Amino acid sequence: MNTAFEELMQVRGLGAPGESIAFEGRDPVLSTRFKLGETASAVMAAIGVAVNDLWEARCGRRQSLSIKATHAAAALRSYNYLHMGSADGGDGQNWALQRARQRISTPHRTRDGRYFLPHMGLPHLAERVLGVLGCKYELDDVVAAVAKWDALELENAIAEVRACGAMVRTADEWAAHPHGGVLARKPVIEIIKIADSDPEPVEHFGDRPLSGVRALDLTRILAGPTCARTLAEHGADVLMVTAPELPQSERFVQDTSHGKRTCFLDLNEADQKDRMIELIRNADIFSQGYRPGVLAARGFSPQELAELRPGIIYTSMNCYGFDGPFSTRAGWEQLAQSVTGLAAEHGGERPTLLPAAACDYTTGYLAAYGTLLALGLRAREGGSWHVRASLCQSGMFIHRQERVDYTEQDMEIPPQDLEEITVSTDTPYGAMRHLGPVLRMSETSPRWDLPSSPLGSHQPEWLEKSTATRS
C-alpha cells in the first residue's frame, strides 16, 4: 500500500475504502530522490475516495479509481504543458519575465556560508526585497547583495518589511525550529468544526458528484486555484472572485481556471461587499488564500461566515500554516521547499529546488481533499467546518515518504504519457492545449465543462441549479 495514501485515509477516518484503486507506475518519474509521482498519486486517489463518499451518499454505489504516477507527476508542473495556438507557443513576454523572476528566486550563498532564497514572484514583493538588499533587479546584483548578509539576519529583515524570503534549512533544523515543531504536531490537513448546524444531505442535482455544490474561490497563483479547479472537475459551480488591481500571473491563471467562472468584486466598496455577502449566503464552500487576518478585517473570518451561512465549508491555504511564529509570514512554493528541507536534500552540497511546483500543487489537491471530506462531515453530522492546508505541511508530507534512486538527469514525463492526458480547448484566449484531469473514475469521468477565461469575464452570480438530470 502507498504509505502516503494510508496517511490520508487516516485523516478521512472512515476505515479502509471499499472501491478498487489501481496505482500504476513507480518513481523515479522526475530527477529527484523524492517520490513525487507516487505521493501525488496518493493525493489524487484520496480525492477520488472522498468524491466516492459523496457519490455513494447520493446514489448508493462507489466507482473504481486509477491513477498513473507519470500523470500525477505531470500535474505537479502542469503550467509547463500549457500551449496556446500562436506561433510562439503562447509564452509571450509576460511568461518570459516570470521565468526571469524564477531564476532569481533560487537559493544564493550568504556571508555566513549558508543559503538564502529571496522571492521575486510579483513586482510589489520584488520591490520590497530589493529595498532590503539595496540592489537592482538583476541576477548578478541579487547574488552579490545576498552574499553581504548572514542568512538568518536577512530572513528577519525581509519578514519585517512583509516581503518574501527564507533561509534554507535541513529537515532536522526545521524539526528543531519552533515553527516546524508546531506543524509536526498537526495532521497534513486540518478539518476543524467551527459551528453547529443541521446536516445537509448530498443533493440530487445533475449527474456528477458535486452537481449543485457552489464554491467561491478567492485565491491566486497555483495552490488555491488548483483546489477550486479540482472541485470544478467533479461538477461544482466554481466562481472565482478577484479584483482588477490584484497582481496575477496570466500563465498561472490560464492553467488553473479550467471549469470556473470568474468575476470582479472590490470588497472595499460597500455595494460590492454586499454582493459578496449574498453570494456567501447561497454558497457551500468559501476558499481563500490571503494572509491570516486580511479577510477577518473585512468581516469574512471563518466564524463570521459560519454565522452568515450555517454549514459553510471555509477552506484556507497559506505557506507556513496557521499557528506558530511564522504563521503571519507570506510565502511561496520556493520558500516552503527551502525551510522544510526539500531543497537542501535535493541539491546536496548546493540547495536546489525540485523539478516541480510540488508544494503548491500538492497543497491545492490536499485542500480539495479536505474540502470534500468536510462536505461529507456536513452531510453526516452537520456543522460548519474550517479546512486548513499549507505549503510547508505539504513539503513535510513529501519529505516523510520513502526515497528512490535515479541515475538520469533532467528526466521528463514520457511523451506518450503526456499525450494521454493532454486536451485541446477553445477558450477566450484562443485555442489552448493543456493537461486535463489525471484521476480516472469508472462512472463520472472528471472533466471541466467551462474553458479557462480571463479574469472578470462573468457576473458575480450563481448558476441556476438544474434537476433535469438526476443520478
Give the domain CATH number at 75: 3.40.50.10540
* Residue 176 within a domain: no
pLDDT the model gives residue 470:
36
Looking at every residue in the chain, the average pLDDT score rounds to 94
* Residue 68 within a domain: yes
pLDDT the model gives residue 89:
41
Mean pLDDT of 170-187: 98
pLDDT-derived band of residue 95, with 50, 70 and 90 as boundaries? low
* Residue 195 within a domain: yes
Compute φ and ψ for 394, nearest 5 degrees. Answer: -65, -40
Q: How many CA atoms lie within 13 A of 280 on its CB side?
A: 24
**Burial letters for 150-179: b for 16+ Cβ neighbours within 10 Å, e otherwise?**
ebeebbebbbeeebbbbbbbebeebbebeb
**β partners of residue 422:** 435
* Residue 236 within a domain: yes
* Residue 97 within a domain: no
* Residue 284 within a domain: yes
Q: Which domain holds residue 17?
A: 3-86+181-441
Percent of the chain exceeding pLDDT 70 equals: 95
Mean pLDDT of 431-450: 97
Q: pTM of the entire structure?
A: 0.95
pLDDT the model gives residue 468:
35
Q: Where is 180: in which H helix or E strand? A: helix 178-184
> What is the tens place of the pLDDT at every residue in 49-60?
999 999 999 999
**β partners of residue 315:** 287, 387
* Residue 143 within a domain: no
* Residue 155 within a domain: no
> What is the tens place of the pLDDT at every residue in 195-244?
999 999 988 778 899 999 999 999 998 999 999 999 999 999 999 999 99
Q: Give me the number of domains the chain comprises.
A: 1
pLDDT the model gives residue 120:
87
Q: Could you give the CA distance from residue 4 to residue 365 in angstroms, rounded to a whole number?
A: 14
> What is the tens place of the pLDDT at every residue in 312-352?
999 999 999 999 999 999 899 999 999 999 999 999 999 99
